[in-house]
Amino acid sequence: MQTRESLIADWWGTRPKPAWANVWHLWTVLIPRRTITGRLVCGKVWRRHDGRRWIYKRLVQFDDPDL
């Protein structure tokens, strides 16, 4: 059973986020999703959780022989 304080923390979202919450990671999207700017993306994308929802960014790939 949760204490009153933990219930309030859950309600207001004051609990600390997990370590992975603010980290961008590579993800494969099968169903098109909206990016931060509102564009649709599909395939390999960057994704992270902001505490309420998943945020997606387009993956830009390039080949640079100097890197």
Radius of gyration of the chain, Cα coordinates, nearest whole angstrom: 17
pLDDT over 80 at 6, yes or no:
no
Q: What share of the chain is helix, strand, coil (3-state, %, to 5)?
A: 15, 35, 50
Q: What is the pLDDT of residue 60?
A: 84
pLDDT at 40: 92
Domain spans in the chain, listed from the N-terminal domain onward: 22-67
pLDDT for 49 equals 86
